[in-house]
Amino acid sequence: MVFTPLPGTRAPVRVWTDPYGIEPQAAQQLRNIGALPWVEGVAVMPDVHFGKGATVGSVIAMRQAVSPAAVGVDIGCGMSAVCTSLTADDLPDDLAPLRAAIEAAIPVGFAKHDDAVDPRRIRGLEQRGWDDFWRRFGTLDKRVAQLETRAQQQLGTLGGGNHFIEVCLEQGGPDAGRVWLMLHSGSRNIGKELAERHIGIARRLPHNADLPDRDLAVFLAGTPEMEAYRRDLWWAQEYARRNRAVMLALLSGVVRDRFPQVGFDEPISCHHNYVAEETYGGVDVLVTRKGAIRAGAGDLGIIPGSMGTGSYIVRGKGNPDAYCSASHGAGRRMSRGQAKRTFSTEDLARQTAGVECRKDAGVVDEIPGAYKDITEVMAQQEDLVEVVAHLKQVVCVKG
């Protein structure tokens, strides 16, 4: 679809869904963002919904400024996936042992590894840059210094909420039945701690005193506060990327143990909560994608649905009106609390039929019915991405 402008904003706010269908709280957030003096423009993805700090499904281009709350507390959260040489015929009828093996290899929820991950002991993991990466921990905000051991033990762990690990089957086309491995996670506790400290600092800066929403407080270029945030931000984004890389290598190891003949294609990885330095129309901007992936021309990305509906591998079309972006998933259509009040474990079992996954009260808030229709979301962004593969999960691990 062609974008629709959101009326009543100073900077252009371009919407890739029905603007009148956006929940009122989210629409007001978008107007608040569009009113900020540093904002060059905003692109609103079809999975848009209300979020803390800034709207989920928003792409915010700022000149010489960045809002830490608009990035969110899970800095660098994103997706990784890899296509294997296996097909559906290679998988056993009973997938419960495979799910159990994945959960045994990769800590989920609040769990962490017993010891720091040694990348040299993980087959298939990129070995470069680890020593320098951990040396830079000492340059981070001094208030997180005591968290280094925890950060080392949480590397290669899933977390909870909407984070997941899946085994999927490709749908349709010449590669129908091919097995994919996919996961969704971010920067764990260390990203949250760094984000919350910088959000607190931004709120106290004098130039943020009269903002329409204190959660949109910004750091300005050329200030020590901006320099400190960018240093910690880049490190946390790298932590998130390395976290997913470790998990994908561990997940691949689980599959290799059971299917020694397996081969793996080149992995795909993309952030969907992060900041990047980019240029549009000759203007250098800091682009914050909160619930959005980069979809530059030829970029491969991952757009998941929910734990029962499947996901899409996509290739970006490089649409500058959207700051070369696309949605990060289906997007929630109801809050976690509303989902728990609306659905039962029986609903969850019915909506995840055919998927080996948890079906207890602890994950009812992640039920497919709590999310928007992923097929509609994809239809609304045909000018942003093209579909490379449609995947359907057969195993889903939740935290």
Distance in angstroms (rounded) separating the CA atoms of residues 169 and 310: 9
Question: Residues near 55 by Cβ (< 8 Å), separated by ≥ 6?
Answer: 26, 29, 30, 33, 44, 48, 49, 290, 291
Distance CA 90, CA 395 (A): 14
Whole-Å CA distances, 164 to 185, 270, 332: 7, 15, 16
Radius of gyration of the chain (CA): 20
Give me the DSSP letters along 64-98.
SEE-HHHH-SSTT-EEEEEEEEEEGGGS-S--HHH
DSSP states along 4-35: EEPSS-SS-EEESS-GGGS-HHHHHHHHHHHH
CB 33 within 8 A of CB 27: no
Say what the alpha-carbon torsion angle 43, 45, 50, 55 is, to the nearest 10 degrees.
Answer: -30
Contacts of 243 (CB under 8 A, 6+ apart): 154, 155, 156, 157, 185, 186, 187, 188
**What stretch of H or E contains 216?**
none
Q: How many angstroms separate the CA atoms of 12 and 14, rounded?
A: 6
Residue 181's DSSP bridge partners are: 82, 167
Size of the chain, expressed as the number of residues it contains: 399
Q: Tell me the catalytic residues.
A: 328
* Token pair belonging to 281: 């129309």
8 A C-beta contact, residue 170 and residue 176: yes
Beta-bridge partners for 274: 289
- The token duo for 138 is 């000492």
Return phi, psi of residue 273, to 5°. -135, 95
**Mapping DSSP to helix (H, G, I), strand (E, B) and coil, where does residue 135 land?**
helix
